[in-house]
Chains A and B, each alone.
Chain A
């Protein structure tokens, strides 16, 4: 077979090479990857292993000889105290060379002598550059400048403000509303009070001699006492020049670097003001800190009305509890947004429209609900979390090798399926599969190595089969043997009816006038397709993204990236009117009861639709 495309020149040797070169050049360069390369390269002078011998060992052995643990000086501070930061900073150093413990209270003393500080921070999570900006601290007030957004936290008054410098918006909130603690890197060292620090010797940088210390098994942020702090200390001033926090928590694998310290700078007074700056207006900058959802709020005692339950960030996935009273959603930034806010998991009481709780959940994109046992499950980084659906609190964790998957429960709540995408070393051809976890033992029971990237895995209600949906194929495996039972051509969404007798899955059809989204309804046991439903009402290319059966199993809802929201009666196959399509992509749809559905769309609205109107 001649597989050379038509239209090529008669010199296949040269054209082959040219096409190969052009294809190679066609891949865009990942700017984030370049940023990571830069960050890693910047630290090379600080990496002691880099200055180890390479070719000319005589030169390097000389260099090694020059690296000696530095003695701790006894110079005491001369100026006033920065009480909020340094009062409790006392780091104990374990001198490996002398086997003696020496308290380097000089660091605390030196910081005590400081009234203000400004430094740079950058963080990366799971190897991806996440955030950077400037931090200023004066007394007990910390100012984080992330660029467009600025936060000022006043610990003494338990107050904080957020500023959007582009929208000129200002928002005040209470520190107790924060779902995550404010990070003060110097205060993090407080936790080191009783910990041992190891001297790693000295390094030269920019003409300064720096002492390097390391503290392991250190509880920082959410690292569960497995974190590591490395600190470079200016031997002249006893003040930090660089601090690295490495958090091995599989949720994050975060590396945070604080550097470019300027001690005692002259910082403007208004940088620490909690009052609204001139030219600003009150606004909702951080939805998580708002006391109530925005948009049309459902009032207490009111029946469910069609309306916007929430507007702001994008509801990417929705679940409704067994009693049909609580709605939980994943909220993330809009595509292209530069806000870098962590994803939130938020729950509302549908009878009042009030938020019950909000949790930051890193980069989770979907979550599973076990309605009978009131459990939620999701993956943060490489940590599978089981949470109490009533409180959002984590009740159990398991570590997986596969990050950023989607977790779903079986009907009994005894097993979890983790649909994962394994990018490995080949971004253009990722692999995937499904992990089956036993929740009783916490053990990984089986891994179905599928090959395709798997975006969703759903148990059949009887638990005997798990469906793995990827681009192009939905594969059905026996959970007891791992044997592939059936493959259907479809896309990445599938749902089983409550009684487990029917399954619905999304599909697309290439047609003369474009792509038509389809929803196939099939017998869950025989896989025979009973009916084909066509997505209607959207604008542009169809790509079904959400499917759900009504609690009584008589209706089926589907939503589409082209904005379409369709509901059909499975009794007669008719479309149920009354739900208008949206102008932006609809990511998820979920029945609240047989007459109401909730949708989450890219325009940042979580909307409730009344099907009876």
Chain B
């Protein structure tokens, strides 16, 4: 098989922003997201040499999600911002809490099964509808709904447990 997809540049043009955005939302770091995006494109390119890719969008967003989660798991967990940390001074209180929640959500997503993580990412970070997710991932709508419900419940539990353990929730 020819190792060059017929319209590789077009594929890159069409999907770069989305692939980077998915990685960026999950990782929260531009350099890491760039690396993961490149990893996703390379993997997609290699997969294409093995078999024809039916849906580049689905393949790339799934790769971007899963490789981002891999990168997150490899990464040393972010140290929560503590009171008195120089970086926290001068920030409004609400913003500080929101930043903490964001960091903890990032950690919590790594505990989701692959399909739940992908569905959650596409639903909340990419704002895709249920049908769109189902079409691109090749699963039925019921599975999307189920995965999304489980993912949301799991993440909400983890976040609240985290806060409760630190006395931040009653």
- Contact: A33 with B20, CB < 8 Å? yes
Interface string of A6-29 (1 = CB under 8 A from B): 000000111011011111110101
Which residues of the other chain, A, contact B4 by a CB distance below 8 angstroms? 45, 204-206
A-B pair number, CB within 8 angstroms: 153
A429 and B30 CA atoms in complex are apart in Å by: 12
In the complex, whether B110 has a CB less than 8 A from a CB of chain A is no
In the complex, whether A340 has a CB less than 8 A from a CB of chain B is no
- Contact: A472 with B90, CB < 8 Å? yes
Min distance, Cβ A557 to any Cβ of chain B, angstroms: 27
Which residues of the other chain, A, contact B31 by a CB distance below 8 angstroms? 425
Min distance, Cβ A150 to any Cβ of chain B, angstroms: 26
- Contact: B32 with A425, CB < 8 Å? yes
Min distance, Cβ A62 to any Cβ of chain B, angstroms: 10
- Contact: A472 with B29, CB < 8 Å? no
- Contact: B37 with A24, CB < 8 Å? no
In the complex, whether A572 has a CB less than 8 A from a CB of chain B is no
A13 and B32 CA atoms in complex are apart in Å by: 29
Which residues of the other chain, B, contact A14 by a CB distance below 8 angstroms? 156
Nearest residue in A to B161 (C-beta to C-beta)? A13
Min distance, Cβ B109 to any Cβ of chain A, angstroms: 10
Which residues of the other chain, B, contact A472 by a CB distance below 8 angstroms? 86, 89-90
- Contact: A3 with B41, CB < 8 Å? no
Which residues of the other chain, B, contact A47 by a CB distance below 8 angstroms? 42
- Contact: A44 with B8, CB < 8 Å? yes
Min distance, Cβ B161 to any Cβ of chain A, angstroms: 9
Which residues of the other chain, B, contact A427 by a CB distance below 8 angstroms? 29-30
Interface string of B45-60 (1 = CB under 8 A from A): 1110110000000000
A172 and B32 CA atoms in complex are apart in Å by: 45
Nearest residue in A to B24 (C-beta to C-beta)? A29
A38 and B10 CA atoms in complex are apart in Å by: 10
Which residues of the other chain, B, contact A42 by a CB distance below 8 angstroms? 8-9, 12
In the complex, whether A452 has a CB less than 8 A from a CB of chain B is yes
Min distance, Cβ A19 to any Cβ of chain B, angstroms: 5
Which residues of the other chain, B, contact A16 by a CB distance below 8 angstroms? 101, 156, 159-160, 163, 169
In the complex, whether A278 has a CB less than 8 A from a CB of chain B is no
- Contact: B25 with A24, CB < 8 Å? yes
Nearest residue in B to A426 (C-beta to C-beta)? B29
In the complex, whether A1 has a CB less than 8 A from a CB of chain B is yes
- Contact: B42 with A3, CB < 8 Å? no
Which residues of the other chain, A, contact B16 by a CB distance below 8 angstroms? 34, 37-38, 41
* B 133-170 contacts with A by CB, 8 A: 152, 155-157, 159-160, 163, 167-170
In the complex, whether A2 has a CB less than 8 A from a CB of chain B is yes
Which residues of the other chain, B, contact A36 by a CB distance below 8 angstroms? 34
In the complex, whether B112 has a CB less than 8 A from a CB of chain A is no
- Contact: B38 with A27, CB < 8 Å? no
A45 and B9 CA atoms in complex are apart in Å by: 10
In the complex, whether A374 has a CB less than 8 A from a CB of chain B is no
- Contact: B156 with A24, CB < 8 Å? no
Min distance, Cβ B105 to any Cβ of chain A, angstroms: 4
Which residues of the other chain, A, contact B9 by a CB distance below 8 angstroms? 42
Min distance, Cβ A223 to any Cβ of chain B, angstroms: 24
Tell me which of A19, A27, A45, A428 contacts B101 (CB under 8 A): A19
Which residues of the other chain, B, contact A37 by a CB distance below 8 angstroms? 16, 19-20, 34, 37-38, 41
In the complex, whether A59 has a CB less than 8 A from a CB of chain B is yes
- Contact: B50 with A59, CB < 8 Å? yes
- Contact: A29 with B20, CB < 8 Å? yes
In the complex, whether B132 has a CB less than 8 A from a CB of chain A is no
- Contact: B168 with A1, CB < 8 Å? yes
Nearest residue in A to B158 (C-beta to C-beta)? A17
Which residues of the other chain, A, contact B50 by a CB distance below 8 angstroms? 54-56, 59
Tell me which of A63, A426, A452 contacts B3 (CB under 8 A): A63
Tell me which of B3, B29, B159 contacts A17 (CB under 8 A): B159
- Contact: B19 with A20, CB < 8 Å? no
- Given contacts A27-B24, A51-B3, whether A20 and B34 have CB atoms under 8 Å apart is no
5 nearest CB pairs, A to B: A20-B105, A20-B101, A5-B94, A41-B41, A23-B102
List residues of B whose CB falls within 8 A of some A CB: 1-4, 8-9, 12-13, 16-17, 19-21, 24-25, 28-34, 37-38, 41-43, 45-47, 49-50, 75, 78, 86-87, 89-90, 93-94, 97-99, 101-102, 104-106, 124-125, 152, 155-157, 159-160, 163, 167-170
Can you report 16 residue pairs joining A to B where beta carbons are below 8 Å apart? A4-B168, A16-B159, A17-B105, A20-B98, A20-B105, A24-B102, A33-B20, A33-B34, A34-B16, A34-B20, A37-B16, A37-B19, A204-B2, A204-B4, A426-B29, A426-B78
